[in-house]
A and B are shown apart, each in its own frame.
Chain A
Amino acid sequence: MGAGTVWGEAMKYMLLIYQNQATQQALSEDPDGVVAEVDAIIEELTGSGEWVGGEALADASQSRTVKVRGGVPAVTDGPFVEAKEHLAGYCLVECETLERALEIAARWPDARYCAMEVRPLMEPAGMEM
């Protein structure tokens, strides 16, 4: 019903993982540590029945941007070459509250280096108004 904030019904949230220079540095200094940290969180969320799914993205340099203007498609490399922060992956969780989703995001290592964005998913169902 899209009213999770009022009745504490579980809602799906996407945690968008953003990375920057600081992340790259942390990953190059202690890659195993970061991976272990992430694995532990995923294991815990799987155990609690909150984990829905997640994927990591290839480096932003492997990205292509497609635009169609006047019916003509144009493909360029990367999203924005000058961008300091890039989307690096996502997790999908189902939580009873927004606060819980924020708590998970805060524990994700990327939150320390760059940022996590927490966004509710749209539901395919709704109430008559």
Chain B
Amino acid sequence: MTTVAPPVEDLLRELAPQVLGALVRRYGDFDSAEDAVQEALLAAAVQWPEEGLPANPRGWLVTVASRRLTDQWRSDSARRRREATAAALVPPDEALAPSPGDQRPAGQDDTLTLLFLCCHPALSPASQLALTLRAVGGLTTAQIARAFLVPEATMAQRISRAKQRIKATGIPFSMPPEQERRDRLAVVLQVLYLIFNEGYTASSGPALQRAELTGEAIRLARAVHRLLPDDGEVAGLLALMLLTDARRRARTRPDGALVPLAEQDRDRWDRASIEEGVALITDTLVRAPLGPYQLQAAIAAVHAEAPRAEDTDWPQILALYQVLERVAPNPMVTLNHAVALAMVRGPGAGLELLATLEGDDRLAGHHRLDAVRAHLLEMAGDHAAARASYRLAARRTTSLPERRYLQARAARLADGAGRDPGAGAGVTRGGPAP
């Protein structure tokens, strides 16, 4: 894909779910149709930059993908004989012209239907992510494998398995029934947020291409927001992604070291992203029923609007965490709540709230609990205990940059450096929604 001019790639990625939707509606076989669309996308990625865009790019892709599909059916003798007969009955001329079903702006709706299919609860989260990126995002298996740091064969198998499962369980290509739609949409949003987080994790070296995932998650969230403009949680998720991604350039040093929120150079934050995110969440909060993504976006907006770390409106953030804790109780939310509490009422209050998490199995041995405790102990001036907690967190994290950051914090205290009152400020952005 790196050899393809960006405008062509953007167009292909946008058309991918529409073309796939058209094929699945016409031929019914999601598994084979998905393969055929991938091949058509690859063919277009080679031909279009050389020969120029066809007059009707979408029609071109539908035609080429349909041919691949019928070719595949013809060559696939016994098991598919019946379908092959049906497919061969479609005259080439008809395949060239978009069918009536393809004409409607439902090409757009297909994106949502496909998302519901790829994020079906019968699939494992890893499969949901992989299939969504390929079938809806139009990424190649190689790109997805690189982004998730696994061999291409592993990713290919994961995608193929997901498609087999869709076939075996007979999951239809249609919008979920009205009464299920809310829960199913929650899974779609969760998958998009996981994709975003995979890409957002700061990194250096060969893993840099994971950043593609962040852009892809935002692009898909925008698409869902366009289709469901009245859904507050969809808007909230998009706002949260925009506000979080705005900090991208400031959150790592050139050598890959993590910079906590409180120490980030805010001039490096992306203002356009912040303005869009703030406007979106402000508008959404007044008109939609409250939900966890909106609350997290609101918290991110409060951080984004502070010119300096010390200007942060912590009482407002604390209030938002109190609501979030009621709407979506989750130990990660409590961790961040404890930090906000410490910033408003002092480290003692934060540590008290943290103590309520000690017996929580979901956090047992989790480095974030130790990291937050370390920050609060540092705020309280108990450097020896803070150092021990930083070291424990450093041993428990499975992230190299986080370990380096935590070891550095511990070393700083060992050197007898003065306390940093803003130390806890950065930990509020702890992780994804419940």
Contacts and interface: CB of A to CB of B under 8 A. Distances in A.
Interface of A: 1-12, 46-53, 94, 96, 120-129
Interface stretch (B94-102, B151-159, B286-294, B414-422): B151-159
B397 A126 contact: yes
Contacts of B429: 127-128
Nearest to B263: A128
B402 A129 contact: yes
Contacts of A3: 366, 368, 431
Contacts of A122: 398-400, 403
Nearest to A13: B398
B366 A5 contact: yes
B302 interface: no
Interface string B360-377: 001101111001000100
Interface residues of B, number: 61
B398 A123 contact: yes
Contacts of B159: 49
Contact of B157 (A1, A49, A123): A49
Contact of B399 (A1, A6, A7): A1
Contacts of B252: 128
B400 A124 contact: yes
Interface stretch (B28-36, B78-86, B203-211, B224-232): B203-211
Nearest to A94: B150
10 contacts: A1-B201, A4-B398, A9-B125, A12-B150, A49-B154, A49-B161, A96-B125, A126-B402, A127-B200, A129-B261
Nearest to B367: A2
A49 B158 contact: yes
Residue of B124, B148, B251, B398 with highest tally of chain A CB at under 10 A = B398
Contacts of A49: 126-127, 130, 154-155, 157-159, 161
A3 B216 CA distance: 22
B303 to A, nearest CB: 11
Given A7-B431, A94-B154, A96-B124, A125 B201 contact: yes
A125 B157 contact: no
Nearest to A10: B126
B402 A127 contact: yes
A9 to B, nearest CB: 6
B206 to A, nearest CB: 8
Given A124-B204, A127-B200, A129-B426, 15 more contacts: A1-B432, A2-B397, A2-B399, A5-B365, A10-B125, A46-B154, A47-B161, A48-B158, A49-B154, A123-B400, A125-B203, A126-B397, A128-B258, A128-B260, A128-B426
